[in-house]
Amino acid sequence: MSGLGDDWETFKRSVRELRKHRVLATKGELDPGLMGISAPVFDAEDIVIGSIGLVVSAPDFIDQDRFDAAKAAVDLASRTVSERLKAA
């Protein structure tokens, strides 16, 4: 289950929150011991057309500074790709 809600209204609210915060981190949802960090990629019409992600070993990211740096890197990558697509 995606964890975004059990009905349409809850799903839409969850997606709006995701768009606002830009970067999402999950831990162990698909594979125990792994952490995923992802951010959306937008087209010229500001529609999500994909995502940029990083999957790492969760124990490697116990340190908050490393985790914050990884989130910032994923966010920067998604913003850079989105800006280039909008300029194309």
Domain count within the chain? 1
Instruction: Show the domain range for 35.
Output: 24-87
**Residue 68: which CATH number?**
3.30.450.40
Residue at 41 is within a domain: yes
Task: Encode pLDDT of 62-75 as tens digits.
Answer: 788 988 999 999 99
Residue at 55 is within a domain: yes
Residue at 36 is within a domain: yes
Residue at 61 is within a domain: yes
Task: Encode pLDDT of 29-49 as tens digits.
Answer: 778 889 999 999 999 998 889
pTM: 0.77
Residue at 15 is within a domain: no
Tokens of 51: 């995502």
In angstroms, the Cα distances linking 65 to 8, 54, 60, 72, 87 are 36, 16, 11, 10, 33
Check pLDDT > 80 for residue 77: yes
- Three-state SS at 26: strand
